[in-house]
Chains A and B, each alone.
Chain A
């Protein structure tokens, strides 16, 4: 069947790409997990019952039950066979289905990610627009300084500073946990500051580029004042690189800010992935790798659709 609309074509291309990505990811995850040094069964046993209860017999049983003693090619074939049926297997530590575990933890990461991401644009959009409309002005220079400072500060350090001020010194907010909305404020702010550091400059540069574009000069020659010209022609054009960047950032959020989640005891995907890696929970690591990869592909698809909607030139090119 011919796919006529540009949107259908893009979706079809992206789905094909996502499937290919999933296959490559599954293979890479399998290779990396099995290339890690050390005895996976011992690590899994330690994660299940703790160091004190760990015995070699227990590790041997886990090795047998989890099929970790089979030849690697057989394990790979079994893994790909299950994957083709949409079965990600069970965690070797919790014995729960990997998909259930991922779904539980993903909602925390998505919740935190969305709030942090939205908060970052609440900060970055007004600052970036103001800086872009007056390049070299006070807002531009000060936001550039702040952006450089925040971008060069690791997120755990931003988190520690926020915890020190708002949780430990002022005691306004809880330092860790996820039970109430208040628990989300500090991790979301940590995330937002880190994201805004980049997006404020992207927005500023997009605005500056658009303002100096030929079509803006032409609009003004036609008699539009600067503000009207920017509103009618500038905003939409400036939005294209910004939307692409927002989607890329959203994908970055999806895989969980490992350090932030650990620091704030927030049970998201990043936290799950780190613990699974430490415990060498093979099915969980491989399942998480694939799901996170597919979520990246989905975010990228959304960005393409948004750009297509914003930019008629892209629709035209896609239709040819």
Chain B
């Protein structure tokens, strides 16, 4: 055999060499934890993008939540409330430092919190006074507000260093105290991070991290199949088999308190009777939807709140179960009779409605179409109309919403009460009930809950609230959510937080 290479062999060798170099260029970078998620970094304001600061562990809040739901001290070591039930004291941990080396003092924390409390999401707290007192932040509320520590987990209240703010109080540089510090922000897409060696719990195990926003779900899937990231949060559920089959990343998931909810306009003739709303809930084949549409049987809901929220999941409630005969009987009792075309009618009104779903959550439209078939069996006609997400609050506000289905988190803060109040106690909520007469009963219960410091009474109130919602069905849960994370084989020690407050990157090591 000749040792000389032919021209064709030379060309193929050159091609192979160039392709190998290209392949190497696309390989993982040692020491850099590459994180991808759908959300763009649109501004430095914690009220807008604090969830990226909190999840990437750039900044921390006074109080934090552990993945098991337990509230723990963050920047505050602990907290206590005075006998007046109005004055809360949050002593700051000693020895804490911001990323710029300045100490985390009670003054700095109080100043940062004051700016956060001016934002809309924090205005639920009836603040009377907020100040630094010695080594503690002291908050006095106008009325008893028992879930204040839970509300202070809100990402909008992340504590930033005094140098973070410009003269107008706007954030110009994000200087937090979490295990990672920002070294570069490139547009809305990429944030480069270095480990913060002065972190209170000891430095993170990886030296560098990079956050990349990939809003398009299909693009996230492609990146996962190609293995061009180490952690990809919120992958498309239906893409899990393809990602796993790609061999570069594996999808891990955990049920989270985000719920695919269907809400009714309880003020229109079709849905003013709770028996109709219950009948519709009973006709839905939730296990079928979970298996066939969501490809995850565990996401079939049995009540509004999933078991991961121990305190609010009401074990005494009967499970949602499909009962077509029972649903038909309820509609008969409510006076809706079958018309010539199979759709029920009462007093000349057809039992028919338009279901608004969110167009950028494509699974909701498919679920809506499945429910169309389920409800037809009991003589209810629905048409599915996918719309931009903001159209749903607009339709609730102007009263044109008949039925709607959306995805709603019940843990913007770790106590569900903070979501129950806006969603179930108003005539027109933003996301939830519309014209529901039961709102006054819930309002009385939530008012008592907010003011109560008696743990057993609060537990009883939680059970009562969930029971009323279950029985009266102003909304019904169609499916729970799985928080999905594609994880590369070089990542070890990842914990997934069902509250989606932190990505727990400080525990991760890279092979």
Q: Which 7 A-B pairs have the closest CB atoms?
A: A42-B390, A175-B222, A43-B390, A46-B390, A39-B394, A175-B226, A182-B25
Contacts A48-B48, A174-B228, A176-B219 given; does A38 touch B26 at CB 8 Å: no
Q: Does B22 contact A (CB under 8 A)?
A: yes
Interface-central residue, A42, A57, A59, by most chain B CB under 10 Å: A42
Q: Does A104 contact B (CB under 8 A)?
A: yes
Q: Does A61 contact B (CB under 8 A)?
A: yes
Q: How many residues of B contact A (CB 8 A)?
A: 48
A residues near B390, Cβ cutoff 8 Å: 38-39, 42-43, 45-46, 54
**A93–B219 CB distance below 8 A:** no
Additional A-B contact list (4), CB under 8 Å, known A96-B43, A182-B22: A45-B390, A174-B228, A175-B228, A264-B219
Within 8 A of B (CB), among A55-86: 55-59, 61
B184-192, B285-293, B298-306, B338-346 - interface stretch: B184-192
Q: Does B163 contact A (CB under 8 A)?
A: no
**A176–B393 CB distance below 8 A:** no
Q: List 14 A-B contacts (CB under 8 A).
A: A38-B391, A38-B394, A50-B39, A51-B389, A51-B431, A52-B409, A54-B389, A59-B393, A61-B120, A95-B43, A105-B187, A167-B226, A170-B23, A182-B25
B residues near A104, Cβ cutoff 8 Å: 187
Within 8 A of A (CB), among B168-203: 187-190
What's the least CB distance linking B206 to chain A, in Å? 18
Q: Does A163 contact B (CB under 8 A)?
A: yes
Within 8 A of A (CB), among B335-377: 358
**Chain B interface helix/strand/loop/mixed:** mixed
**How long is the Cα–Cα vector from A180 to B409 in the complex, in angstroms?**
37
B residues near A49, Cβ cutoff 8 Å: 47-48, 121
**How long is the Cα–Cα vector from A264 to B412 in the complex, in angstroms?**
31
**How long is the Cα–Cα vector from A180 to B212 in the complex, in angstroms?**
14
Indicate which residue in A42, A47, A265 contacts B394 across the interface (CB closer than 8 Å). Answer: A42
Q: Does B216 contact A (CB under 8 A)?
A: yes
**B226–A46 CB distance below 8 A:** no
Within 8 A of A (CB), among B399-420: 406-409, 412
Chain B residue at smallest Cβ distance from A55 = B430
Within 8 A of A (CB), among B406-447: 406-409, 412, 422, 430-431
Q: Does A216 contact B (CB under 8 A)?
A: no
A residues near B45, Cβ cutoff 8 Å: 95
What's the least CB distance linking A274 to chain B, in Å? 10
Q: Does B225 contact A (CB under 8 A)?
A: yes
Residues 168-188 of A, flagged 1 when their CB comes within 8 A of B and 0 if not, give: 101111111111101001000
B residues near A175, Cβ cutoff 8 Å: 219, 222-223, 225-226, 228
Indicate which residue in A61, A95, A265, A278 contacts B219 across the interface (CB closer than 8 Å). Answer: A265
Indicate which residue in B26, B42, B51, B190 contacts A171 across the interface (CB closer than 8 Å). Answer: B26
A residues near B246, Cβ cutoff 8 Å: 168
Indicate which residue in B42, B219, B223, B430 contacts A54 across the interface (CB closer than 8 Å). Answer: B430
**How long is the Cα–Cα vector from A57 to B124 in the complex, in angstroms?**
12
A residues near B227, Cβ cutoff 8 Å: 171
Residues 156-171 of A, flagged 1 when their CB comes within 8 A of B and 0 if not, give: 0000000100011011
A residues near B214, Cβ cutoff 8 Å: 176, 265
Within 8 A of A (CB), among B32-82: 39-40, 42-43, 45, 47-48, 51
Q: Does B295 contact A (CB under 8 A)?
A: no
**How long is the Cα–Cα vector from A54 to B48 in the complex, in angstroms?**
11
Residues 1-43 of B, flagged 1 when their CB comes within 8 A of A and 0 if not, give: 0000000000000000001001101100000000000011011
A residues near B212, Cβ cutoff 8 Å: 177, 265
Contacts A58-B120, A265-B189, A267-B187 given; does A173 touch B388 at CB 8 Å: no
**A267–B120 CB distance below 8 A:** no
Q: Does A262 contact B (CB under 8 A)?
A: yes
Chain B residue at smallest Cβ distance from A167 = B226
Indicate which residue in B43, B388, B408 contacts A278 across the interface (CB closer than 8 Å). Answer: B388
**How long is the Cα–Cα vector from A81 to B431 in the complex, in angstroms?**
39
**A53–B394 CB distance below 8 A:** no
Q: Does A110 contact B (CB under 8 A)?
A: no
**B391–A48 CB distance below 8 A:** no
**A180–B25 CB distance below 8 A:** yes
Q: Does A94 contact B (CB under 8 A)?
A: yes
Contacts A43-B390, A46-B390, A168-B246 given; does A94 touch B226 at CB 8 Å: no
Residues 204-221 of B, flagged 1 when their CB comes within 8 A of A and 0 if not, give: 000000001011101100
B residues near A139, Cβ cutoff 8 Å: none
What's the least CB distance linking A173 to chain B, in Å? 6
**B120–A55 CB distance below 8 A:** yes
Chain B residue at smallest Cβ distance from A93 = B42
What's the least CB distance linking B223 to chain A, in Å? 5
A residues near B47, Cβ cutoff 8 Å: 49
A residues near B226, Cβ cutoff 8 Å: 167-168, 171, 174-175
B residues near A96, Cβ cutoff 8 Å: 43
A residues near B25, Cβ cutoff 8 Å: 180, 182
**How long is the Cα–Cα vector from A202 to B212 in the complex, in angstroms?**
41
Within 8 A of B (CB), among A241-282: 262-265, 267, 275, 278
A residues near B388, Cβ cutoff 8 Å: 38, 43, 278
A residues near B39, Cβ cutoff 8 Å: 50
Interface-central residue, A59, A93, A177, by most chain B CB under 10 Å: A177
What's the least CB distance linking B395 to chain A, in Å? 10
Interface-central residue, B121, B189, B246, B390, by most chain A CB under 10 Å: B390
A residues near B313, Cβ cutoff 8 Å: none
A residues near B120, Cβ cutoff 8 Å: 55, 57-58, 61
Chain A residue at smallest Cβ distance from B428 = A56
What's the least CB distance linking B499 to chain A, in Å? 13
Q: Does B397 contact A (CB under 8 A)?
A: yes
**How long is the Cα–Cα vector from A168 to B246 in the complex, in angstroms?**
8
Contacts A175-B222, A265-B214 given; does A52 touch B408 at CB 8 Å: yes
B residues near A174, Cβ cutoff 8 Å: 26, 223, 226, 228
Contacts A47-B42, A265-B219 given; does A177 touch B412 at CB 8 Å: no
Indicate which residue in A54, A61, A95, A178 contacts B393 across the interface (CB closer than 8 Å). Answer: A54
**B26–A53 CB distance below 8 A:** no
A residues near B23, Cβ cutoff 8 Å: 170-172
**B190–A179 CB distance below 8 A:** yes
**A176–B222 CB distance below 8 A:** yes
**How long is the Cα–Cα vector from A262 to B213 in the complex, in angstroms?**
12
**B228–A176 CB distance below 8 A:** yes
Within 8 A of A (CB), among B266-291: none
B residues near A57, Cβ cutoff 8 Å: 120
**How long is the Cα–Cα vector from A267 to B189 in the complex, in angstroms?**
8
